[in-house]
Amino acid sequence: MTTPDKTAVVQVLRDISLLLQMKGENPFRSRAYDTAADRIAGLSEDLGALVREGRLQELPGIGQAIADKVSELLTTGKLAYYDTLRAEFPPGVLELVQVPDLGPKKALVLARQLGVDGVDALEKACREGRVRQLSGFGEKSEAKILAGVELYRRTRTPRRLLGEVMPVAERLLESIKTAPGVIRASVGGSLRRRAETVGDVDLIASAPDANAVFDAFSRAPEVAQVIGRGESKCSVRLREKDLQVDLRVLPDEDFATALHHFTGSKAHHVRLRGLAHERGLKISEWGIHRDDGTKLHVPDEVAFYRLLGMQYIPPELREDTGEIEAALEGRLPEDLVTMEDIQGAVHAHSTWSDGKNSLEEMARAAQALGLKFLTVTEHSQAAIYAGGLKEDDLRRQWDEIDRVNDTVKGVRLLKGIEVDILESGALDYSDGVLEKLEVVIGSIHVRHGMDEEQMTRRLLQAFDNPHLHILGHPTGRLIQNREPYPVRMEAVLDKAAERGVVVEVNGKPERLDLKTEHVRMALQRGVKLVVSCDAHRASDLANLAFAVATARRGWARRGDILNTLPAEQFITTLRKQRAA
């Protein structure tokens, strides 16, 4: 038996309040439980101690009856009263009341009369038009419940990392492309914009018959459950990661406008609608219409933006952060960096430190992707936990790199290091070793707890070492897992610009560091960047695409990214940068 914590106790009290409301009890009884829940939630003292010392009922708002129940719950891990009460109601009804604007009375009617036992079933009932048939409900309340369900999901389902979702979305997209009659298909939503996290997956396809596509889609092995199906939209939940996918299928003439609509972002759309209005046009989910109602033919998104007198705006830029003004004035960069521009991958580990694949395996993987070089940057000696290399180990590693470079053709392993930036700002190797390396990335891996001034000084100090080429994962954040360490990014980027230190855009899905906003800050200062994969196994080379996406979202052009250069030029440019 696990002892319930304060949060669990508060939850039980709130549940009891809701169940009493469903039961139609005197409102003052249910309110007593809510008041007690509030009181306990706000306690600064230890709840267990209060209960043991019999002081709980002395608190204002908590009577003897409730104090006894809390005590029972804390000491036995169960509460008989709660279990009995719950058994009087259909399963799932407590989940239903979590939907915004769905009160206990209505939730109970839905559970009893339609047998809905949870939010998924509720959504299905709404989409099938079964809710509007109940007395006391209508089309309006059905739509309102659906909106509530969406909000419920948005606030509860954790957002997923871009890099985590992309592979499964691409698999689904491939299967949709081969479904009966499909003409065009694409991902949409935040995934297409390459946002760092995504709430759900949006897919858009064109085909003469949506039903045939939905049938095929529903049978895909990734799909666990169909949660809603209408004329043009089918929503499913995937087996993997409890992820929702919305697929829209439309006639091909509507594909471009639908793709645009479901790519978002909402902020970008709001601005576009305003602009369209000034031109006597109306943009909606259903296309672009003139004021007189005639629908315009929009073959693709380039045409879409042209109709508004703008340059084409790539999806990664559609966030209303200045892209609309730039596109209207024709000053949106046309040479944003692409995957095709990338000559080599930066930042790879092998079995020499904490990587899972040998140098040769890494080289072959890079070769298979058509990369011309891969910078091998193991950890340095201070990183004991990550198999950091001693200076002596490096020389032996270089022999193996030479051997692999002779064996694996078309791709070159560059001799590098990811050297720790120590607490003092000094680097973890002697200058004598660092100067022999082709690529020196400096990163912070320990002592994240320093304050902003100390951390900023640590980084600025590291930039004074002329052998440092690249600052690795500059803020150390792990998305949804670890806050960035505090650092004055302006000062760091100012000095990087001044001293020719290149900054990494790390493509590891949980890092994406620099992040989009910092990429823009760096570019405004003329800082050069590399896109990296931070690979610890061969398959991590795929991370490069996420680094490129993040760089694009920060408006990086081909010329801003140094690993668009061939290997030899890449190495000499890193040195020249520091010498200037």
Nearer to ligand DGT, 40 or 195 (CB): 195
Determine contact, residues 567/350, Cβ cutoff 8 Å: no
Q: Which two tokens stand for residue 338?
A: 């692409």
Considering CB distances under 5 to 8 angstroms, the limit depending on partner class, which of Zn ion, ligand DGT, Ca ion, none binds residue 265?
Answer: ligand DGT
The pair of structure tokens assigned to 120 is 């998924």
Is it true that the peptide bond before 173 is cis, omega within 30 degrees of 0? no
State which residue, 65 or 270, has the beta carbon closest to ligand DGT.
270
Residue 157 interacting entry, from Ca ion, ligand DGT, Zn ion, none, C-beta within 5 to 8 Å by type: none
Between 272 and 533, whose beta carbon lies closer to Zn ion?
533
Q: Residue 193, Cα to own-chain centre: how many angstroms?
A: 11
Binding string, 191-230, against ligand DGT, x = CB under 6 A? ----x--xxx-x----------------------------
Torsion of CA 278, 280, 283, 287, to 10 degrees: -160
**Measured from the CB of residue 493, what is the shortest distance to ligand DGT in angstroms?**
28
Alpha-carbon distance of 455 to 424, in angstroms, equals 9
Taking the complex as a whole, how short is the minimal distance between the CB of residue 202 and ligand DGT, in angstroms?
Answer: 5
For residue 569, the one-letter residue type is: Q
> What is the closest distance, in whole angstroms, from the C-beta atom of residue 224 to Zn ion in the complex?
36
Candidate list 120, 202, 418, 420; residue touching Ca ion; CB under 5 A: 202
- Binding flag, residue 95, Ca ion (CB under 5 A): no
- Residue selected from 92, 189, 287, 314 as contacting Ca ion according to rule CB under 5 A: 189
Q: Does 264 bind ligand DGT (CB under 6 A)?
A: yes
438 binds, among Ca ion, Zn ion, ligand DGT, none (CB under 5 to 8 A by kind): none
Q: Please, are residues 321 and 297 in contact by the beta-carbon 8 Å criterion?
A: no
How far, in Å, CA of 384 to CA of 62, rounded?
A: 54
Report helix angle 104-114 to 119-127, nearest 10: 70
From the CB of 198, what's the least distance to ligand DGT, in Å?
A: 4
Q: Does 266 bind ligand DGT (CB under 6 A)?
A: yes
Tell the smallest beta-carbon distance from residue 188 to ligand DGT (Å): 6
Residue 417 pairs in a beta bridge with 378, 440
156 binds ligand DGT (CB under 6 A): no
E strand or H helix that includes residue 427:
none
Using CA atoms, how far apart are residues 553 and 249, in angstroms rounded to an integer? 28
Cα–Cα dist 559/498, whole Å: 18
The residue within the footprint of ligand DGT, chosen from 57, 218, 265, 381 (CB under 6 A), is: 265
The reply on whether position 418 binds ligand DGT by CB under 6 A is no
Stretches 11-19, 198-206, 414-422, 469-477: which one binds Ca ion (CB under 5 A)?
198-206
443 binds, among Zn ion, Ca ion, ligand DGT, none (CB under 5 to 8 A by kind): Zn ion
Instruction: Give, to the nearest 10 degrees, the angle between helix 489-499 and helix 452-463.
Output: 10
Cβ 267 to ligand DGT, closest distance in Å?
A: 9
Q: What is the DSSP letter of 375?
A: E
Stretch that binds Zn ion, among 115-123, 238-246, 257-265, 441-449 (CB under 5 A): 441-449
Where is 55: in which H helix or E strand? none
State yes or no: residue 323 binds ligand DGT (CB under 6 A).
no
Smallest gap, in angstroms, from Cβ of residue 347 to Zn ion?
8
Q: In whole angstroms, how close is the CB of 469 to ligand DGT at the nearest point?
A: 35
Contact between 116 and 125 (Cβ < 8 Å): yes
| CB closer to ligand DGT out of 110 and 283 | 283
| Residue 241 DSSP label | G
Query: Amino acid letter at 480?
Result: Q
C-beta closer to ligand DGT: residue 153 or 499: 153
Nearer to ligand DGT, 198 or 444 (CB): 198
Structure tokens at 558: 């081909």
**Scanning the structure block, which residue is given the tokens 């492309």?**
177
Distances in Å between the Cα of 127 and the Cα atoms of 13, 26, 333 are 33, 35, 43
The least CB distance from residue 229 to ligand DGT, in Å, is: 17
CB 327 within 8 A of CB 313: yes
Q: How many residues of this chain interact with ligand DGT, rule: CB under 6 A? A: 13
- Minimum separation from the CB atom of position 213 to ligand DGT (A): 19
* Residue numbers 234-263 binding ligand DGT by CB under 6 A: 261-262
Beta strands 160-161; 373-379: pairing state = unpaired
Gap between the Cα atoms of 203 and 223, Å rounded: 14
Burial string for 485-509 (b: 16+ CB within 10 Å, else e) reads: bbbebeebbebbbeebbbbbbbbbb
Q: Tell me which residues touch ligand DGT (CB under 6 A).
A: 189-190, 195, 198-200, 202, 261-262, 264-266, 269
Q: Tell me which residues touch Zn ion (CB under 5 A).
A: 443
